[in-house]
Amino acid sequence: MFTTVAHKNGVVDQPERADSLDAATLKSTTYGEIVQQAINFAVSLTHMGVRKGDVIGLASENREEFWGAMIGEFKNAVNLSKPKLLICSPFAYKNQAETINSLTLSEKIILFGNERVNNTILYKDLAVDVKEKVRYEQFRSVDVNGQTDTFPNVHTVLQGYGSSETTLGVIMFKFDESEAAKRKPGSVGRVVTGMIVKIGEICVKGAMLMKGYVGIGRGDDFDDEGFYKTGDVGYYDDERFFYVVFPTKLEALLLTHSSVNDVGVIGIPHESGGEVPLAFVVVQPASDVTEKELQEFVAERVSDPEQLRGGVRFVDKIPKSPAGKILRKELKALLKPLDASTLKSTTYGEIVQQSMNFAVSLTHMGVRKGDVVGLISENREEFWGAVIGVACTGATLATICPIYVKEEFKNALNLSKPKYLICSPFAYKNHAETINSLALSEKFIKFGNERVHNTILYKDLAVDVNEQVRYEEFKSVDVDGQTDTLFIIYSSGTTGLPKGVMLTHLNVITSCSLLEESEMAKRKPGSVGRVIPGMSIKDYFCVS
């Protein structure tokens, strides 16, 4: 059984990879060493008379030899399981010696470590220092029936989901739901009373959620509504039974692909799926495997919600702790802003570079302080480079909703009268007739790669420029924050056609500064906040 699990996780294919670090000795063990120990130990146990159906007890902290043997409170546990053999760490043997010696249930005691104790056998004599190493190619584990071969005293095994931060399981099957558990293979049960769970990233809140971390602020571990973000991805069915897309499951699957050397999986936000899996992959040397190949490889072997809809990112290494645990927060830190339409990423540095290039290009095209530039686009890769670039010229940016109907669109253009109009391909196609019928704009600047008559591509002005603007030499146009208009945005239009709302630089900067009070907002449920600095109560409510 162990070797089957090992093979499916890429252990046999990558024997030199360090699997774990012994917390007691800081000695590392490779996958290959674990496999070798496991098969040596299995053969030794067989020679000692262990047969299918026998029970082996294991009492040990997590240490180097642990996984070569496999999993094991004490007197009660021994009485329940009635092990034929008992495997102990030195700590466990010393701690439970009186109890162990008072019981006559076990034929033999097998000890981890190097210290020989009377009437015990050392694990290393059975699994490490053996006269002849068992060859993997010649080894065959005993066949078992996965559905019926079980512990003789166990009635039902029920799954659940939780963490230290949630006290115990927050999603689980109740003891009287064993039949439901059989009907729902792979499910971790339903949400327990007193807890609220959000998906796709599993976020939890309620009576069992921790107060917080000692000495650490809440930071990015909680969302705006006070839900703890687990980092796992999940979904539920029509009967509200939950399923967790464990990153380790997808990692284990991907490691079986011949081109994958290492992998780490995280959940990322997605506009339709809430949260979807994304894999960071280290490929084998000389491999030319593609993102599409790996996505299809996974899709053929998992359920629909577990597919790699977040994509695959190829990296040089997976960040891990000294104990070999994947540092998923560091993986998330590797993520860049993502274009929702193309899933192409852009770094902050690239946005800054684009915005400086675009500002200089606009200035060369005649855009001056006080001019209006229209922007009609959904959120996409080029969006923020264009916004910041226009702001740096001192011009005003009129942001127009790309899904306006014809009359709303014409109204927005007539109100703002833009000198230039920046469009996404979607917006240009959606409003081409109206755009071409109006003589308000001198030039049309288009996002994307498709060239259209009488338009200029944004990338020619911000990305593929002859000479990149250097940050040290760049200076944006000076503005008066209290009077100069930065944005023209449009009201909701509930009382007629949308109105153009002029926002100054000071309006926007002040609004951004209010984000610092997010923690205060959590402590004041129902409050609309405090009066903004620089405004009176009258001003505040008139604006509202």
The answer to whether residues 260 and 231 belong to one domain is no
Write down the mean pLDDT value for the chain: 77
Q: pLDDT per residue over 23-52, tens digit each?
A: 455 566 677 787 788 888 888 888 888 888
Higher pLDDT pick, 279 / 493:
279
The answer to whether residues 308 and 277 belong to one domain is yes
The span from the CA of 204 to the CA of 171, in Å, is 10
The span from the CA of 317 to the CA of 322, in Å, is 14
CATH number at residue 121: 3.40.50.980
Kindly state the average pLDDT of the residues 521-529: 58
Q: pLDDT per residue over 439-489, tens digit each?
A: 655 678 888 888 888 788 999 998 888 888 888 888 889 998 888 889 888
Across 71-75, 295-299, 455-459, the highest mean pLDDT is recorded for: 295-299
| pLDDT at position 6 | 36
The answer to whether residues 360 and 391 belong to one domain is yes
Q: Domain boundary at 229, 245, 261, which?
A: 245
| pLDDT at position 169 | 83
Helices (H) and strands (E) in the chain, counts: 19, 23
The answer to whether residues 327 and 357 belong to one domain is no
Phi-psi region of 372 (alpha: psi -120 to 50; beta: other; left: phi over 0): beta
Tell whether the torsion through CA atoms of 422, 428, 434 and 437 is positive or negative. positive
The answer to whether residues 213 and 292 belong to one domain is no
Give the count of beta carbons closer than 10 Å to the beta carbon of residue 215. Answer: 5
| pLDDT at position 391 | 93
Question: Could you tell me if 83 and 106 are in contact, meaning their C-beta atoms sit under 8 angstroms apart?
Answer: yes
- Sorted by sequence, the CB contacts under 8 Å of residue 33 that are 6+ apart come out as 15
Kindly state the average pLDDT of the residues 264-284: 80
Whether 62 is in a domain gets the answer yes
| pLDDT at position 305 | 78
Helix (H) or strand (E) holding 269: strand 260-270
Whole-model pTM: value is: 0.39
Q: For residue 377, what are its two tokens?
A: 């686009």
Residue 8 reports pLDDT greater than 50:
no
| pLDDT at position 12 | 47
Q: pLDDT per residue over 321-342, tens digit each?
A: 776 778 887 888 777 555 555 5
Whether 341 is in a domain gets the answer no
Residues of the chain above pLDDT 70, percent: 76
The answer to whether residues 373 and 253 belong to one domain is no
Rg of the chain (C-alpha set): 31
| pLDDT at position 388 | 93
Kindly state the average pLDDT of the residues 79-92: 80
Whether 538 is in a domain gets the answer no
Whether 152 is in a domain gets the answer no
**Range in 119-128, 153-162, 396-405, 479-488 the model is least confident about:** 153-162
For the chain, what is the domain count?
4
The answer to whether residues 187 and 255 belong to one domain is no
**Which residue in this structure is represented by tokens 């076990």?**
106
| pLDDT at position 439 | 66
Residue 536 reports pLDDT greater than 90:
no
- Sorted by sequence, the CB contacts under 8 Å of residue 152 that are 6+ apart come out as 53, 55
**Range in 59-63, 282-286, 302-306 the model is least confident about:** 59-63
Whether 200 is in a domain gets the answer yes
Q: pLDDT per residue over 356-402, tens digit each?
A: 999 999 999 999 998 999 999 887 888 889 999 999 999 999 988 88
The span from the CA of 266 to the CA of 250, in Å, is 10
The answer to whether residues 178 and 117 belong to one domain is no
Provide the domain limits for residue 59.
2-138
The span from the CA of 3 to the CA of 340, in Å, is 42
| pLDDT at position 163 | 83
The answer to whether residues 45 and 115 belong to one domain is yes
Kindly state the DSSP code that residue 80 receives in the 8-state scheme: H
The answer to whether residues 266 and 355 belong to one domain is no
Whether 544 is in a domain gets the answer no
Q: Length of the chain, please? A: 544
Q: Domain boundary at 138, 170, 188, which?
A: 138
The answer to whether residues 19 and 125 belong to one domain is yes
CATH number at residue 389: 3.40.50.12780
> DSSP assignment of 412-426, as one string?
HHHHH--SEEEE-HH
Whether 143 is in a domain gets the answer no
Vertex 379 angle, CA 378 and 382, to 5°? 105
Q: What is the dihedral angle through the alpha carbons of 116, 120, 126, 127, rounded to the nearest 10 degrees?
A: -70
Residue 232 reports pLDDT greater than 60:
yes
The answer to whether residues 374 and 284 belong to one domain is no
Kindly state the average pLDDT of the residues 156-184: 82
Q: Domain boundary at 193, 222, 245, which?
A: 245
| pLDDT at position 43 | 83
| pLDDT at position 63 | 52
Residue 440: strand, helix, or coil:
coil
The span from the CA of 56 to the CA of 44, in Å, is 13
Question: Could you tell me if 55 and 152 are in contact, meaning their C-beta atoms sit under 8 angstroms apart?
Answer: yes
CATH number at residue 254: 3.30.300.30
> DSSP assignment of 81-92, as one string?
H--SEEEE-HHH
Whether 212 is in a domain gets the answer yes
Residue 412 reports pLDDT greater than 60:
yes
| pLDDT at position 282 | 93
Kindly state the average pLDDT of the residues 511-538: 51
Residue 153 reports pLDDT greater than 50:
yes
Residue 109 reports pLDDT greater than 70:
yes
73 pLDDT tier (thresholds 50, 70, 90): low
Kindly state the DSSP code that residue 10 receives in the 8-state scheme: T
| Strand ranges, E, within 416-461 | 420-423, 443-446, 455-457
Question: Could you tell me if 358 and 450 are in contact, meaning their C-beta atoms sit under 8 angstroms apart?
Answer: no
Beta bridge partners of 501: 489
Higher pLDDT pick, 295 / 20:
295
